[in-house]
Amino acid sequence: MATAKQVQELVAAVQSLNLEVRNLNQEVQNLKVENNVLRQLVANREPHSSDLPSMPLSSVKFDGTPKLLQEFIKACNVHFAFRPTTFSTDLSKVGFVISNMTGNALAWANPLVTTDDPVLRDWEAFLTKLKRPLKGQKLNSWLVKNCWRFTEDRWASCPILQSLSN
């Protein structure tokens, strides 16, 4: 037969085990709630870029031809819309656009990159700056050629060219 001391020890052990079971049940409940929250987040998340099929820019490159600028910007905006997490910052958008430039457009963008122009981190400002020189690109080209011809090696002193560079 068990002594009173042994009974007390058994009761204390059972009480301790009951307390531990209650704590474990509470922990299981907390984990179930957390699991449900995580399941909802996963179900509602944006697809990761690795989940999406490869989506090329349909080979649209921009060489600086003014009449093609709007088409190029539209194609880029479609690309941004399909990958919002990839292009969540202005810098990522501007970087993508510059990486799809060639010829005169790339030559125009290179100084922005090499000088780390603040416009690289502002999508709207970049678009404004991109559209501005291209509007008069043919005129600018004509002026450069003609000022060079008229002033020979001192073309930089041409007041028309100086005003265009400001």
Residues 77 and 131 in one domain: yes
Residue 162 structural domain: 136-166
Residues 100 and 122 in one domain: yes
pLDDT digit string (tens) for 63-100? 988 888 999 999 999 888 888 888 899 999 999 999 99
Residues 153 and 96 in one domain: no
Residues 121 and 149 in one domain: no
Residues 68 and 85 in one domain: yes
Reported pTM = 0.51
Residues 118 and 147 in one domain: no
Please give the tally of structural domains in the chain.
2
Mean pLDDT to the nearest integer, 139-158: 47
pLDDT digit string (tens) for 19-33? 999 999 999 998 888
Residues 161 and 114 in one domain: no
Query: Mind spelling out the 3-state secondary structure of the chain?
Result: CCCHHHHHHHHHHHHHHHHHHHHHHHHHHHHHHHHHHHHHHHHHCCCCCCCCCCCCCCCCCECCCHHHHHHHHHHHHHHHHHCCCCCCCHHHHHHHHHHCECHHHHHHHHHHHHCCCHHHHCHHHHHHHHHHHHHCHHHHHHHHHHHHHHHHHHHHHCHHHHHHHC
Residues 108 and 162 in one domain: no
Residue at 141 is within a domain? yes
Average pLDDT of the residues of the chain: 78
Residue at 50 is within a domain? no
Mean pLDDT to the nearest integer, 96-109: 91
Residues 131 and 141 in one domain: no
Q: Evaluate if residue 161 carries a pLDDT over 60.
A: no
Mean pLDDT to the nearest integer, 130-136: 67
pLDDT the model gives residue 34:
87
Give the model's confidence band at 55: pLDDT under 50 very low, under 70 low, under 90 confident, else very high: low
Q: Evaluate if residue 106 carries a pLDDT over 60.
A: yes
